[in-house]
Amino acid sequence: MPECFAPSVNATCTKLILGSMPGVKSLEQTQYYAHPRNAFWRIMAALFGAPHPFDSYDDKLNLLLSHHIALWDVISACTRDGSLDSDIRNAVPNDFEKFFKQYPNVKNVFFNGQTAYNNFIKAFKSATFINDLTLIPLPSTSPANAHLSFDDKLKAWSVLL
């Protein structure tokens, strides 16, 4: 059963981007959004005026942290063949009650795709911490979300600013 990575976060973060669960390429490389056709890092570079491609994975994470943005996944572990969100089964959510206690400045949560949003709502709809958050579902940056162009995705993700 694959497991997600630890969050990229620090005490200055006020925003959180949540994916569903890392895909095969990301798990192999132990990096968020490692698939070369996933538009996530290209979108982040465009939004924040960073050079793309990045020099290193640390540069990617530091770009987000420098803009007070944490990065994590909704699902801690699951059963899935391949990388498609539609194949996720037996999803186990991360411990968000602990996360939001540890990082109380995080108030805006952006979801990379509907699966991330739906899994979060399903797991935490009656949790009290959810009342203090603004939840913003965004289109998936995955290459599987081919009905939207890069420019359409970039425009939607500009709410991060």
The residues that are catalytic are 38
| Angstrom distance (rounded) from CA 14 to CA 24 | 29
| CA atoms 159, 124, 148, 144: torsion sign | positive
Neighbours of 100 (CB within 10 A): 21
Could you tell me if 35 and 86 are in contact, meaning their C-beta atoms sit under 8 angstroms apart? Answer: no
Q: At what angle do helices 40-48 and 57-66 cross, to 10 degrees?
A: 50
Say how many C-beta atoms besides its own lie within 10 A of residue 112's C-beta: 28
Please name the residues in contact with 68: beta carbons below 8 A apart, sequence gap of 6 or more. Answer: 12, 13, 14, 15, 105
Which of left, alpha, beta for 126 (phi over 0: left; psi -120 to 50: alpha)?
alpha
